[in-house]
Amino acid sequence: MLLDRLRGYEPEVDTSHPLFGAVPPRFGLPAGLSPAALPAALETLERQHEPVADGLRAGSRLTLVPTMIQAGIKSNSIPASCLVTCDVRTLPGQDAAYVEAEMRRLLADLPWVEIEVLTTAEANHSPYDHPFRETCHRALRLALGREDVDLVPTLCSGFTDSRLLRPLGVAVYDFMPLHPQAESRDTGVHGTNERIEVEGLIARARFLMAAACLSLGAAAPVAAVRAAGA
C-alpha cells in the first residue's frame, strides 16, 4: 500500500524557472509555459527531443523514487517493520520541511507509517545573469569553432559539488558540452558501458581550456584551444 501511494504521488508543478521561458521557443513551443500547458508541450517534445522533455519535466517538480527496502532478518519470519528509503530531488526553495509536509499529506491516512527526512543537500542555483556565464558562452564558441551556439538557463537534476561552492559566493554552472553531432538520446553517463564519444571528449577539453584562458585573461586563448584538441 505504501509503495502504491508513493508511485501515485502527484507533485506540484512549477514552471517559474527561467528555463521555461528560454528553452521552449527554441523547439517551436511558446515561451513561459504554464503548469497547465506543460503536459502537452512535453508530449510534443518527447517525439523528437526526448532529452529536452526529460529536462523540463525534472525541472518542474519534486521527484520521489523508492530506491531501497530493508525488512526482516530471516526468510521464514514476517518482519515486524520495514524501512523504505526514497531518493528525493527538490526544486530551489523546497526544503526539508516542504518535503516532510508533502509526505505527511500523501500518507495522512496511514497512521502506521513514520516519516523521517534526511537532508544531503538543499536544491540551489547560481544566477544566469552573471559574467561567468558569458565567459562560458565565449569559450563554447571557441571550442566548437562556430558562432551559432547559444546557452540557456536550466536546472541540473543530478547531484554535484556545487552545493559546497555556492555558499562561498562562487557562481557554478553544471555545464559540460556535447559535440553538436553527438548522440543526444544515450549520452553514456552512469549507464552500462559508461562512455563518451571522441568528438565530445575533444569538445570538452577545448571548452575547459578556453574557459580557463578567458577567466585568467589570456591574450590568445585560440592557440591553447587548438593545442587542447590536437
Contact 214, 138 (CB under 8 A): yes
Cβ-based neighbour number of residue 117 at 10 Å: 15
- So what's the pLDDT on residue 190? 75
Domain ranges of the chain: 18-58, 131-228
Residues 6+ apart with CB under 8 A from 111: none
- So what's the pLDDT on residue 77? 92
pLDDT band at residue 223 under the 50/70/90 scheme? low
Residues in the chain: 230
- So what's the pLDDT on residue 37? 93
Average pLDDT, the chain: 88
Query: Which span out of 63-67, 122-126, 196-200 was modeled with the highest average pLDDT?
Result: 63-67
pLDDT band at residue 200 under the 50/70/90 scheme? confident
Rounded to two decimals, the pTM is: 0.80
Q: DSSP of 63-132, one letter per residue?
A: EEEEEEEEE-SSTTS--S-EEEEEEEEPPTT--HHHHHHHHHHHTTT-TT-------S-------SSSHH
pLDDT band at residue 196 under the 50/70/90 scheme? confident
- Residues 133-146 have pLDDT tens digits of 999 999 999 999 88
Classify residue 9 by its DSSP letter. Answer: -
- So what's the pLDDT on residue 71? 95
CA dihedral 196, 198, 199, 203 (to 10 degrees): 70
pLDDT band at residue 219 under the 50/70/90 scheme? low
- Res 171 pLDDT > 60: yes
Q: Which of 127-136, 142-151, 192-201 has the lowest mean pLDDT?
A: 192-201
pLDDT band at residue 176 under the 50/70/90 scheme? confident
CA distance 176 to 117: 31
- Residues 69-101 have pLDDT tens digits of 999 999 999 999 999 999 999 999 999 999 999
Closest CA to 23 of 64, 62, 52, 1: 52
- Res 160 pLDDT > 70: yes
- So what's the pLDDT on residue 194? 84
Angle of the 221-228 helix axis to the 131-144 helix axis, nearest 10:
60
Q: Is the dihedral of CA 119, 6, 99, 84 positive or negative?
A: negative
